[in-house]
Amino acid sequence: MKRVGVFVCHCGTNIAGTVDCAKVAEAAKDFPNVEYSVDYKYMCSEPGQEMIKQAIQEHKLDRIVVASCSPRMHEPTFRNCVEKAGLNPYYVEMANIREHCSWVHPNEKERATEKAIDLVKMAVAKAVKNQPLQKTTIPVTDRALVIGGGIAGIQAALDLANAGHVVDIVEREPSIGGKMAQLDKTFPTLDCSACILTPKMVDAAGHPNINLLTYSEVEKVDGFVGNFDVTIRQRARSVKMDVCTGCGICMEKCPVKVDSEFELGLAKRRAIYTPFPQAIPNKPVIDREHCTYFIKGKCGICSKVCPAGAIDYTQQDELITRRYGAIIVATGFTLFDHSVYGEYGYGKYPDVITGLQFERLINASGPTMGKLKRPSDHKEPKNIVIITCVGSRDETKGKSYCSRTCCMYSAKHASLIRDKIKDSKVYIFYMDMRTPGKGYEEFYDRSREVYGTQYIRGRVSKIYPQNDKLIVRGEDTLLSQPVEVEADLVILATAMVAQPDADKLAQKIGIGYDKDNFYTEAHPKLAPVETHTQGVYLAGACQGPKDIPDSVAQASAAAAKACALLSKPEILTEPIVSEVDEKTCAGCGTCVLICPYKAIDLKTLTERIAGKTVERKVATVNEGLCQGCGACTVACRSGSIYLKHYTDEQILAEVNALCL
């Protein structure tokens, strides 16, 4: 016979103003197994908790029901409280008579009281069936994986490494640096992107706790928090990293020229290349798709000219499997493909470029050495049109969201153009100017007042070439009149979109993603860097469009979260997990298929039955992987797998209690 104590909280007048708490406490006395019942003003307060502890001692209570606010609020409080009184914390049940009762039925006092009594009755019925559960510990591997070597990944890795944890950065490209390496200057301070990024890249490469795995991709993720087993495919560079000196002769002599990804097609690179001169590691890779040796089987010039003998055409992709305690995903973003827009020329006009291409054109290390020339005829442009929200805030052809950075970088572009070409004129077509951020509005003001940028509120309806100009037609919605600008160069502020294979990576790791393939955080406000998969954190634009300060802030936040996890040798796990009754399990494997966490496996049992040794398969749950969703319990045909704390028996007891 269980001895249940019921504690009804007034929550000041929050509950007592609607629900007759004394009546609820009185009614609870008649429920089966209830030994003691009382109401009090503030159950969560120190005296309230003391009251529970005393009652446990005095009345030898072994199950506690607290009727108060939402368990999402105070369940941990009352679990701690009863644990201090010597009971298993999972003996507590809560009846939510505030959020689910008094606050939503303020005008139906009688019926609210009746409902509160029902809720307490259900909680009592469940509490009676509650079993003691023990938190278990699992070891934590003190090593972190950062996926993506852009500014967010580098920052997160540096923070972790400085805190004393070993970090591996996996980067798909031959060099770390990401999108920030392509930028010229950064708003709102206009400091040079390379000047602030490259020192960090060097720091990361030289840090004793950081390993760079460039030209590599995550192939497979197994395991769970504290113990992720990650398989990384390190693609064949065809260059021996330990032998190559990075002299660059091979890149000069290579006869093959292809469009440079880093320069966004504005310049050529060789088949053996480093993406940019400050690349880290500054050792080339052979692009096997374009290399003559790999296509035709002959050439081999790089191998002949290499003074160190570092070229190795026989290198194979290497699969590395390592165990990590935490994973930080910082895979960043890519740019929206504006060729869907007919009004902007389907991406066919050479002088209609993207904002990122402009960054390369104006960059001192870019294809034009920082001299602004338009791509078609290399003339200096005088009239420049910038169009914002290309792909952003457009549900028909683009994305519904605002990309957050375009207003600011367009203002920056306008300022940079005027800095370089004094007699130029910049027009910005915009929908709304959005400048939330420290110093952002002032920066925007400066672009108008100091640099004389002309802002036109309205959309562009058509761009078409005329002689060597581009005619930009649009509407000034503030004046309600059509406008036409003769432009030499048009810059499109294209939307930030998720990486094309973002969903595939999410599926590998087991994290969620939204309709636009950005990764979802555990809570939009209170857990912005965590994911729903414990031990996996998000940093940077893979979670949503972000500028550099926000990416860096989020990266440091993710690193702090990962540090908290890695700094302990083991962690406690939630005991609400599934358990298999091996006696009745038929080993059909339905649960194995249904489990979203791959937490269930089949194992072979060897038994002696009637003098014979028999082998049979039964399901077994990995408690580290199980997140306690209960999908398996419903799918089990023989009812042999059950979710602790939410067993069929417990839920049915609640259902019964509601109706009795």
Partner 1 sequence: MSVNEALDPKASAQTPEDWQPKILVFACNWCTYAGADLTGLSRLQYPATVRILRVPCSGRVNPQFVIKAFQKGVDAVLVCGCHPGDCHYTTGNYYTRRRFLLMRRLMEYIGLEPERLQARWISAAEAPKFQQVITEVTEQIRALGPNRKLRDVQWQQWNS
* Residue choice 74, 105, 165, 237 for contact with partner 1 (CB under 8 A): 105
Q: For residue 5, what are its two tokens?
A: 């104590």
Alpha carbon of residue 622 to chain centroid = 25
| 592 is a contact residue toward partner 1 (CB under 8 A) | no
184, 194, 251, 322, 371 from 191: Cα distances, Å: 9, 9, 31, 38, 18
Decide whether 566 or 643 has the Cβ nearer to partner 1.
643
| Shortest Å distance, C-beta 599 to partner 1 | 11
429 in helix, strand or coil? Answer: strand
Query: How many whole angstroms separate alpha carbon 303 and alpha carbon 654?
Result: 75
| Shortest Å distance, C-beta 562 to partner 1 | 21
407 in helix, strand or coil? Answer: helix
* Residue choice 29, 111, 304, 420 for contact with partner 1 (CB under 8 A): 111
- Residue 519 neighbours by CB under 8 Å, 6+ apart: 329, 502, 506, 511, 512, 513, 531, 538, 542, 543
Half-sphere exposure for 266 (CA within 13 Å, toward CB): 30
| Shortest Å distance, C-beta 631 to partner 1 | 4
Decide whether 385 or 538 has the Cβ nearer to partner 1.
538
Segment near partner 1 (CB under 8 A); pick from 25-33, 67-75, 289-297, 430-438: 67-75
Element (H, E) at 92: strand 92-96
| 129 is a contact residue toward partner 1 (CB under 8 A) | no
| Shortest Å distance, C-beta 628 to partner 1 | 6
| 561 is a contact residue toward partner 1 (CB under 8 A) | no
Query: How many whole angstroms separate alpha carbon 96 and alpha carbon 101?
Result: 7
Q: Which of residues 514-533 bind partner 1 (CB under 8 A)?
A: 515, 532
| 118 is a contact residue toward partner 1 (CB under 8 A) | yes
Decide whether 458 or 510 has the Cβ nearer to partner 1.
510
Decide whether 152 or 225 has the Cβ nearer to partner 1.
225
| Shortest Å distance, C-beta 231 to partner 1 | 21
| 624 is a contact residue toward partner 1 (CB under 8 A) | no
Burial of 81 (0-12, 13-18, 19+ CB in 10 A): buried
* Residue choice 23, 53, 100, 207 for contact with partner 1 (CB under 8 A): 100
Give 561-565 contacts, CB < 8 A, sequence gap 24+: 561/326, 561/529, 561/530, 561/537, 562/144, 562/156, 562/160, 562/165, 562/325, 562/326, 562/328, 562/537, 563/159, 563/160, 563/163, 563/165, 565/140, 565/225, 565/226, 565/325, 565/326, 565/535
- CA-based nearest residue to 555, from 143, 200, 172: 200
- Residue 28 neighbours by CB under 8 Å, 6+ apart: 6, 8, 34, 37, 65, 117, 120, 121, 124
| Shortest Å distance, C-beta 603 to partner 1 | 23
Decide whether 321 or 656 has the Cβ nearer to partner 1.
656
| Shortest Å distance, C-beta 635 to partner 1 | 8
| 651 is a contact residue toward partner 1 (CB under 8 A) | yes
238 in helix, strand or coil? Answer: coil
| 593 is a contact residue toward partner 1 (CB under 8 A) | no
Decide whether 98 or 360 has the Cβ nearer to partner 1.
98
222 within 8 A of 533, measured Cβ to Cβ: no
386 within 8 A of 393, measured Cβ to Cβ: no
| 269 is a contact residue toward partner 1 (CB under 8 A) | no
Q: What is the DSSP string of 179-232?
A: GGGG-SEETTTTEEHHHHHHHHHHHHHH-TTEEEE-SEEEEEEEEETTEEEEEE
Decide whether 533 or 551 has the Cβ nearer to partner 1.
533
* Residue choice 26, 83, 99, 441 for contact with partner 1 (CB under 8 A): 99
| 629 is a contact residue toward partner 1 (CB under 8 A) | yes
Burial pattern 92-114, b for ≥16 Cβ within 10 A else e, equals: bbbbbbbeebbbebeeeeeebbb
* Residue choice 12, 29, 104, 439 for contact with partner 1 (CB under 8 A): 104
- CA-based nearest residue to 640, from 568, 578, 558: 578
- Number of other residues whose CB lies within 10 A of the CB of residue 432: 10
Give residue for tokens 């307490």. Answer: 120
Query: How many whole angstroms separate alpha carbon 243 and alpha carbon 565?
Result: 38
Segment near partner 1 (CB under 8 A); pick from 42-50, 453-461, 493-501, 622-630: 622-630
Element (H, E) at 35: strand 34-40
| 30 is a contact residue toward partner 1 (CB under 8 A) | no
| 107 is a contact residue toward partner 1 (CB under 8 A) | yes
| 451 is a contact residue toward partner 1 (CB under 8 A) | no
Segment near partner 1 (CB under 8 A); pick from 28-36, 110-118, 314-322, 480-488: 110-118
Q: Which of residues 568-587 bind partner 1 (CB under 8 A)?
A: 576
Q: Respond yes or no on whether the N-terminal peptide bond of residue 281 is cis (omega within 30° of 0).
A: yes
* Residue choice 52, 56, 82, 122 for contact with partner 1 (CB under 8 A): 122
| Shortest Å distance, C-beta 522 to partner 1 | 9
Q: Which of residues 497-516 bind partner 1 (CB under 8 A)?
A: 510, 512, 515
* Residue choice 54, 70, 321, 461 for contact with partner 1 (CB under 8 A): 70
Query: How many whole angstroms separate alpha carbon 225 and alpha carbon 138?
Result: 9
| 633 is a contact residue toward partner 1 (CB under 8 A) | yes
Give the total of residues touching partner 1 (CB under 8 A). Answer: 49
Decide whether 428 or 626 has the Cβ nearer to partner 1.
626
Decide whether 15 or 218 has the Cβ nearer to partner 1.
15
177 in helix, strand or coil? Answer: coil
| 637 is a contact residue toward partner 1 (CB under 8 A) | no
Decide whether 592 or 651 has the Cβ nearer to partner 1.
651
| 44 is a contact residue toward partner 1 (CB under 8 A) | no
Decide whether 285 or 629 has the Cβ nearer to partner 1.
629
Question: Which x/- pattern over 270-299 shows residues binding partner 1 (rule: CB under 8 A)?
Answer: ------------------------------
| 631 is a contact residue toward partner 1 (CB under 8 A) | yes
| 115 is a contact residue toward partner 1 (CB under 8 A) | yes
Half-sphere exposure for 103 (CA within 13 Å, toward CB): 11
C-alpha triplet 634, 637, 640: angle, nearest 5°: 80
| 625 is a contact residue toward partner 1 (CB under 8 A) | no
| 108 is a contact residue toward partner 1 (CB under 8 A) | yes
- Number of other residues whose CB lies within 10 A of the CB of residue 62: 21
Decide whether 451 or 646 has the Cβ nearer to partner 1.
646
| 393 is a contact residue toward partner 1 (CB under 8 A) | no
- CA-based nearest residue to 21, from 124, 126, 121, 112: 112
536 within 8 A of 511, measured Cβ to Cβ: yes
| 604 is a contact residue toward partner 1 (CB under 8 A) | no
* Residue choice 63, 79, 98, 393 for contact with partner 1 (CB under 8 A): 98
Footprint of partner 1 on this chain (CB under 8 A)? 70-73, 96, 98-101, 103-108, 111-112, 114-115, 118-119, 122, 510, 512, 515, 532, 576, 594, 596-597, 627-631, 633-635, 643, 646, 648, 651-652, 654-656, 658-660
